[in-house]
Copies of this chain bind each other. A is one copy, B any other.
Amino acid sequence: MATIFFCSSSSTILVRSCSSMRESHQPHNKQHLNLKINGTSRSPIKVDSLSQTAEAAVLSINGQRQNIPTKKQLVDPYRQGLIVEGGVGYRQTVVIRSYEVGPDKTATLESILNLLQETALNHVWMSGLLSDGFGATHGMMRNNLIWVVSRMQVLIDYYPIWGEVVEIDTWVGASGKNGMRRDWLIRSQATGLVFARATSTWVMMNRKTRRLSKIPEEVRVELSPWFIEKQAIMEDSHEKIVKLSKEAKYMNSDLKPKRSDLDMNYHVNNVKYVRWMLETIPDQILESHQLSGITLEYRRECGRSDEVQSLCEPEEDEILSDVVKQEYNTKNLFNGFSLASEIINGGGVLGCLEQRPIRYTHLLQAKGEKQDEEIVRGRTVWKRKLPSMPFSTQ
């Protein structure tokens, strides 16, 4: 297949060499660290019992990050990060901040996507193999390779609220012969309840030729010790997202990236893509529903000068005549994953219809001189908001 996937700008990935990777750490459920905090103004948090502490106190020289770890770190007290999963996964504890929530006081999708990016980058930071800010290994740098994301899927069961303490786990695995999968799991720190799961697929591109590349042997040696099989989301059928035409039901045109939408690569930030997509969803759906799943297929990077169109098409009629079809669709979409029980609890056919998720297909494309060029295809799934959250136990 000749499809070329392009750089999704700021989202980045794992990476870590080190043949002695499983060396001096303890099993992840037995780590036990004694931290000391001094309340004085200059005293950092000190870790007594483990020497491999991420020196997060980055100093800048000419605006460049310094002190990037050159060895694997097991704990980052500043970011509340730990290496877990037998030494290859990363876990960060995060409190949902006041500006990360929307009017309903729950974390916005954008905040969740930001936190996925952040924890991925911190995983790389801890690996000791980071050669630049975007997750490239030393081997990749020598081969002039960068990471590009081709696909991302996020399933959100519950949105954490303002002030909630969440644990974000992230890890990587192989994806086919020349790809890498990065997964995430977001849980309540207090109850262990899973809020969200995410998976993404990454490939390598030559920075100069902009062509996809196989993984060179020296890079495979760096990466493969970090790969594990575990998956946050069971492989779905990778149901194809169709390409929308300009006859799509909803369309926002003339979208132009602003300076504040650009990330460190001078590309439009991932999160902006999602904002452009969601702004086409009708207000009444946004009032009554919440996004329970989003899939993004990246095709091409979007730069400052692009003029973007956001197209959106509901995938089904508002009311389904056939409950069987509906059950088939929801099960198919979620792999049986949490909706089936809701349908059972929802009170029969009417409950089914009321709680049936709504699906939209999306397309962001850039106005080209000859023809429009796809940037991202997307699918979003929306569940009716619940009157009370089922995780409300103390």
Contacts and interface: CB of A to CB of B under 8 A. Distances in A.
Interface of A: 10, 12, 26, 28-42, 44-45, 56-66, 75, 77-80, 82, 84, 91, 93, 95, 97-99, 101-106, 108, 110, 114, 117-118, 121, 125, 133, 160-165, 167, 187, 189-192, 258-260, 262-266, 269, 271, 275, 278-279, 283, 286, 387-389, 391-394
27 contacts: A10-B99, A29-B40, A30-B40, A31-B37, A34-B34, A34-B36, A37-B82, A39-B91, A41-B167, A41-B192, A42-B192, A44-B190, A45-B93, A58-B164, A60-B389, A60-B391, A62-B388, A78-B165, A98-B118, A99-B118, A102-B260, A102-B262, A103-B263, A105-B264, A108-B260, A162-B264, A260-B279
Given A103-B265, A103-B266, 13 more contacts: A10-B99, A31-B40, A34-B35, A35-B36, A39-B84, A41-B167, A62-B388, A63-B105, A79-B95, A97-B114, A98-B133, A108-B260, A260-B275
A117 B99 contact: yes
Oligomeric state, in copies:
2
A278 B97 CA distance: 24
A80 B391 CA distance: 26
Contacts of A189: 42, 44, 57
Contacts of A266: 103
Nearest to A111: B99
Contact of A58 (B12, B34, B165, B388): B165
Given A56-B165, A57-B189, A60-B161, A279 B262 contact: no
Contacts of A262: 102-103
A150 B385 CA distance: 36
